[in-house]
Amino acid sequence: MNALRHVHTLLAADGALVDVHPVSQEQIEAAGAVVGTIEEPDWLNVDLPNAEAGVRRVVDEGLFAFEAETEYDVLQHFDDAEELIDVKRDIIEGQDALIAAIRSAEPPLRSRMRVVMRRLRAIPRRRAD
């Protein structure tokens, strides 16, 4: 949240900020079905709620006003299981059941993550006279 306050000081008067971040855990799909979900409990239980609360707080403080919001899916396509496992290695480490499900799925595979994009308008701070 301090970052959002800092950004506010850097923006031109009436400038805009675009906030983009995931709002769901990443799913792995093959043949039109969900193979599994990449579990990221710290992100889901700590990072996402804190990010959402920080945006709401700076709006409540009068630093920014919501102008627009949209959600969309970010898709990544993989020709085979090993390519996906290699790209996602750091975040799927220790998720052995998911890795096995990925390896047994019929390629091609894809990952899907829901993302929110918001445009926030900076509200100029009043100067103390």
Domain residue ranges in the chain: 2-122
Sign of dihedral through CA atoms 29, 33, 35, 39? positive
- Using one digit for the tens of pLDDT, what is the confidence trace for 18-55? 999 898 899 999 999 999 999 987 877 777 888 888 88
Q: What are phi and psi of 98, to 5 degrees?
A: -65, -45
The encoded tokens of residue 60 equal: 């409540």
Mean pLDDT taken over the chain:
90
Q: What is the DSSP letter of 74?
A: E
- Using one digit for the tens of pLDDT, what is the confidence trace for 69-121? 999 999 999 999 999 999 999 999 999 999 999 999 999 999 999 999 999 99
Q: Is the distance from CB of 84 to CB of 28 less than 8 angstroms?
A: yes
Q: Is the distance from CB of 105 to CB of 40 less than 8 angstroms?
A: no
CA dist 38 and 22 (Å) reads 13
- The pLDDT-based confidence of 64 (bands split at 50, 70, 90) is very high
Give the pLDDT of residue 128. Answer: 55
CA of 22: how far to CAs of 12, 55, 83, in Å?
A: 27, 14, 22
The encoded tokens of residue 109 equal: 């595979």
The encoded tokens of residue 127 equal: 């100067």
Q: How many C-beta neighbours within 10 Å does residue 58 have?
A: 22
Give the pLDDT of residue 42. Answer: 81
Q: What is the DSSP letter of 34?
A: E
